[in-house]
Amino acid sequence: MHVDAIVIGAGPAGLATSRELARRRVAHVVLERGRAGESWRNCYDSLRLHTGRHLSKLPGRPFPRGTPLFPSRDDLVRYLEEYAQVFGLPVREGAAVEAAAPANGGWRVRLSSGEELAARAVVVATGIMSNPYIPDIPGRDAFTGRVIHSIAYRNPEPYRGRRVLVVGVGNSGGEIASELGRAGVDVTIAIRSGANVVPLTIAGVPVQYLSWLIRPLPRGVRERIAAAVRHVSDKRRGPPPFPRPAHSPLDAIPLIGFHLVDAIRAGQVAMQGTPVAFTPTGVRFDDGSEQPFDDVILATGFRAALGILQGRVRTDARGFALRVDRVRSADLPGLCFVGHNYDTVGGLRNIYMDAPLAAEAIARAVR
C-alpha cells in the first residue's frame, strides 16, 4: 500500500491531523492499535478535562450543544467517535505499528502483523498516554502488595479496606488520591518537591482561558498575573498544605483545582515525602520512616511515545523529539509530530494549532 502520508495514532492528534490532510486532498491512512480514542477510553472513570470545551475542540467541529463546560472522559470519547464519522476519516483500527523508518526517499511503516506500508511522509500522533513512566524504586520485587501506574486506575472500589500510596502530585495523582480519600480509603500521597496550585475557574471562567488570553504578553507580565492569582487564592483559602516547587506555574502544568488541597485539610488524604525504597510490606521514605501499604499507584506521568522510531531522532530534556518548528522533525525529512506540545493552555488546544501546520507542511512536500 502506498499513500502520501501515514498518521500513526487515532487519538485527538491523529484525528485532527487526518481531517486537515483530507481538507488538503492528501491521500493518507490513520493507523490505530485499538479503537479511535483508545488511550482516552482507558482513563479513570471520573476523569474530566481541566480545559473548557471551547478550547478543547478539534479543527472544524465544536463539542455538541449541552456538553458540560469541562467534558468528561465519556464526553470526549463520544466526540472523537463522531469526529471520525462526520469527516469520514480513513482510520484503520487494530493496526498496531511496530516501526517507522526512512526508506527510498520516503517512509516505510511495519505493523505487528508483519504488513508493511509505504508513504512519502509520516505523522507521529502517538502523544504520551501510551507510554507511562515507571520510576525505578529499589525493592519492588520484594514488595508483596500491588503496584500499578495511574493509567490502570479506574475507580475506588478495588481499594476499599486497603492502605494505598499514591506517588506523584500532578493532576492525575491529585485527583486519584482525593477521590480515594472521599470514598473512605486509607490513602497517602507522596509529594517530592511540592506543586503549584491554581483554581479551576476564576469568576466562573476556566483558568485555561486566562492562560490563553495572557499567552502573548511578556513573561514578566504573565508572572505578575500568576502571582496575583496565587495571592488571591491564598487569601481566600489559605496556602496549600504542601510546599511550592522552585519552578513557576508558567513553566509546568500546575495542579488545577483544590480537590487535593481540600481532601488533605479534611483529613481524607495523608502526606509523605519521597519514596526511596519498597519494603516487603510497604515503602520507606526519604525521612527514614516506613509505612505499610497494600497498593501503590504510580502517578508519575508519561513520556513521549517514540519507540516506533527506534532511536532515530534526538529528544529534548522532557523526552520530546527535537523539531525545527512546532511540528517538523529536526532530524528526518517527511516526519512530523502532532500532540507533542504540552503547556498551560492544554494539550488539546495545542493539537488544534499543530494539526493544520503538519498537514500544510506535508501537502507542500507531496505536491
Residue 119 has pLDDT above 90, yes or no: yes
243: which DSSP letter? P
What is the architecture of the domain spanning 140-298? 3-Layer(bba) Sandwich (3.50)
Residue 255's Cα: distance from chain center in Å? 13
CB 31 within 8 A of CB 98: no
Comparing CA positions, the residue from 341, 297, 319 lying closest to residue 169 is 297
Q: Per DSSP, what are the bridge partners of residue 72?
A: 48
Query: Can you tell me the distance from the alpha carbon of 136 to that of 100, in angstroms, rounded to the nearest whole number?
Result: 28
Report whether 328 contacts 336 (CB < 8 A): yes
Q: Is the pLDDT of residue 127 over 80?
A: yes
Region 312-339: mean pLDDT is 96
Q: Percent of the chain at pLDDT above 70? A: 100
**Residue spans per domain, the chain:** 2-131+302-366, 140-298
Q: What is the pLDDT of residue 311?
A: 95
pTM over 0.75: yes
Q: What is the pLDDT of residues 56-89, one digit of tens each?
A: 999 999 999 999 999 999 999 999 999 999 999 9
- DSSP assignment string, 138-186: TTGGG--SEEEEGGG---SGGGTTSEEEEE--SHHHHHHHHHHHHTT-E
b/e map of 124-147 (b: 16 or more CB within 10 Å)? bbbbbbbbbeeeebeeeeebebeb
Give per-residue pLDDT as tens, 91-107: 999 999 999 999 999 99
In this predicted model, what pLDDT tens digit does every residue of 230-247 receive, in sequence order? 999 999 989 999 989 988
What pLDDT does 94 receive?
Answer: 96
Residue 20: per-residue pLDDT = 98
Query: Which three cell numbers mark 60?
Result: 472544524
Is a pLDDT exceeding 90 seen at residue 155? yes
Q: Do the domains 140-298 and 2-131+302-366 match in fold?
A: yes
Is the confidence at residue 367, as pLDDT, over 90?
no
pLDDT at 343 over 90: no
| Cβ neighbours of residue 256 closer than 8 Å, sequence gap 6 or more | 50, 171, 197, 198, 199, 200, 207
Q: Which range is least confidently modeled, 6-10, 301-305, 359-363?
A: 301-305
Q: What is the CATH number assigned to the segment(s) 2-131+302-366? A: 3.50.50.60
Question: What's the pLDDT band for 25 if we cut at 50, 70, 90?
Answer: very high
CA 115 to CA 112: how far, in whole Å? 7
Sequence-distant (≥ 6) Cβ neighbours of residue 226 within 8 angstroms: 198, 248, 249, 250
CA 38 to chain centre: 13
Predicted pLDDT at 344: 83
Beta-carbon contacts of residue 272 (< 8 Å; ≥ 6 apart): 165, 188, 189, 190, 191, 285, 289, 291
CA angle 261, 267, 270 (to 5 degrees): 75
Mean pLDDT, rounded, for 256-282: 97
Sign of the alpha-carbon torsion through 82, 176, 125, 23: positive
Give me the DSSP letters along 88-102: T--EEET--EEEEEE
Q: How confident is the model at residue 168 (pLDDT cuts 50, 70, 90)?
A: very high
Q: With 80 as the cut, is the pLDDT of residue 1 above it?
A: no
- pLDDT for 318 equals 87
